[in-house]
Amino acid sequence: MEQQKKKTELVRGLTLTASIMIVAGSMIGSGIFLKPATMAKQLGSPELLIFVWIAAGLITFIGALVNAEVAGMIEATGGQYVYFRKMYGDFTAYLYGWSVLAVIQTGSQAAIAYAFAEYVGYFVHLSNLPEAWRQFSFHMPLVGNIYPFAEFGVKAVAIICTLFLTGINYIGVVFGGAVQTAVTFIKIFSIIIVSALLLFLGNGSASNIYTGFSMPQLSTTGFISAIGLSFAGAFWAYDAWNNITFVSGEVKNPHKNVPLALLYGTLIVIAVYVLINLAFLYVLPIDEMSKTTLVAATAVEKIFGSGGGALISIAVIISTFGALNGSILATARVPFAMAKAKLFFGSLGKVHPKFGTPHVSLVVQGIWSCILVLSGSFDTITDYVIFAAWLFYMLGAFGVFVLRKKMPNAHRPYKVWGYPYTPALFVIFALMFLVNSIVSDTENAMMGLILILSGLPIYFFWKYRNKRVNGKKI
């Protein structure tokens, strides 16, 4: 028997369908089932709640349009990291790649895994450690106290799920993509079915959705803060739309399929999110929604009792499982690309000789995600992830202007609609969102910023090392 050829490059095996499912499946995870309750408490108005979901979706869609132009131009595993190298050079690209590994994507994985475990807890009692362990903490300046062993039963399940899916993606991108496609179809179908059941069988009322825009009395500052914080929740649910760019080097016909996946995947998710929120509101008045933790389970229990809550909890478990798989599959390609550019530890750029996957990068990512699970609760993790993510979304959108000037004659299979107004609008909104986050949610914004800047010593080390070895200038 002929010996199997050793693999030295990543496998180009993702179809357009698989790519769309990576976009949609990475976005539809825990946020849509957990964030509506928090947002309802912040806004106190069903009309405002629906407005924020639609507005955040459209802003995300503009971000996808902007990203699609660059994705069509540049075909490389590592996606946004590679784009930043073209736009701004090694320093910004490194900070982004480090941030993806340190907080943006690994923090997202930790939060999704945490939500997965919370819904597993609907069926299984998850024991906690003794009180002395739960009270153990350490203090981080500007952030506050971290309690790694609090709610350890939930955290243990989250860690096990993360390690399991890391193993799935370790053995092949095609297998990981197939898992992602199947799970995403299941969860989109599940959300549509749940929405239909709530709207047609639920003993609800359209007056829960339209109340004549009655809302709590807030000062102008309080109103702006509430809107900003609710947008943070919605953006968390829409986050990870650019995951497909990380694996563009493994997508068939990437110049065409990556932009199409960004556009179609984002539009699917906007429609699904608005539909399920209308269904939630139909059976749960805004005040009642604001007081529940597992809003989807509470809504379905209105129709089917505790059995209905169990069914929706299964749907959420499937949804978060798929989102976590999509994020793990995509994100490991960023430190892989950094290592290939000699800006990170070389071992992270290795390709498994049998499976053709960035196996070392996957293992390192999985371990760090598990550590972040220990750092806080679902809401805490998502808040500092979103601040870090939107800092780079802003830079990515501005980079379209940079590339139009630096590479005016480059082939662009897709040009962003409405240029220069749409990317400018996205940049301005992102800046406003970041400023509001710093003012309204200082501790979590600072946690995101600290994790971003913590990579600087490693950057300067590698630059110095490359200069010594290759005579390169810093």
Tokens of 158: 């989250």
Query: pLDDT tens digit string along 300-311?
Result: 888 888 777 788
Per-residue pLDDT, 144? 64
Q: Which two tokens stand for residue 83?
A: 């784009």
Helix or strand run (H / E) with residue 38: helix 31-43
Q: Which residue has the tokens 């698989």?
A: 18
CB-based contacts of 192: which residues, under 8 Å, 6+ apart? 272, 275
Task: Tell me how far apart the alpha carbons of residues 115 and 340 are, in angstroms, rounded to a whole number.
Answer: 34
The pLDDT of residue 365: 94
Closest CA relative to residue 147, chosen from 309, 373, 400, 446: 373
Task: Give pLDDT tens digits for 205-264.
Answer: 888 888 776 666 666 677 777 888 888 889 888 988 888 887 777 788 888 888 899 899
Residue 249 pairs in a beta bridge with none
405: Cβ–Cβ under 8 A, 6 or more apart, which residues?
Answer: none
Q: 16-470 has which CATH code?
A: 1.20.1740.10
Question: Band of the pLDDT at 474, cuts 50, 70, 90?
Answer: very low
Band of residue 11 on the pLDDT scale cut at 50, 70, 90 = low
Q: Which residues pair with 146 in a beta bridge?
A: 138
Rounded to whole angstroms, the Cα distance separating 131 from 151 reads 11
Residue 149 has, within 13 A of its CA and on its CB side, a CA count of 11
Separation in Å, CA 423 to CA 65, 66, 394, 403, 427: 9, 6, 9, 13, 6
pLDDT classification of 31: cutoffs 50, 70, 90:
confident
Amino acid at 36: P
Torsion angle of C-alpha atoms 230, 235, 237, 240, degrees rounded to 10: -170
- Confidence check: pLDDT of 88 > 90: yes
- How far apart CA 164 and CA 128 sit, in angstroms, is 22
Sign of CA dihedral 370, 376, 382, 388: negative
Question: Before 420, cis peptide (omega within 30)?
Answer: yes
Q: 465 Cβ partners below 8 Å, 6+ apart?
A: none
Please provide the average confidence, as pLDDT, over all residues in the chain: 84
Residues in a beta bridge with 14: 251
Q: Give pTM, 2 decimals.
A: 0.80
